[in-house]
Structure 1
């Protein structure tokens, strides 16, 4: 990152963390697929207490 970019980040009150992509685990991908398939089939899923 250039010095100008760093100055602009500081002026805007941002850090490099604001631009990093969040890490997605395999569990997150599986949950998203289950939710998507349930939505396609019109199935309502119960939300468990472990989330």
Structure 2
């Protein structure tokens, strides 16, 4: 993605701001709890 004004790539932070744990869970077909565990580095998640 690029910023319209500067034509520069958007930062990961800018793109990430609009994405929720629920969005990720739906896309990955997993629970919100699973997404949370992955984001927090839990050892409970299987690959």
Which of the five TM-score ranges fits, normalised by the shorter chain? under 0.3
TM-score (structure 1 length as normaliser): 0.23
Instruction: Specify which structure has the higher proportion of helix.
Output: 1
| Structure showing greater relative contact order (alpha-carbon pairs closer than 8 Å, 6 or more residues apart) | 2
Of structures 1 and 2, the larger Rg is shown by 1
TM-score (structure 2 length as normaliser): 0.24
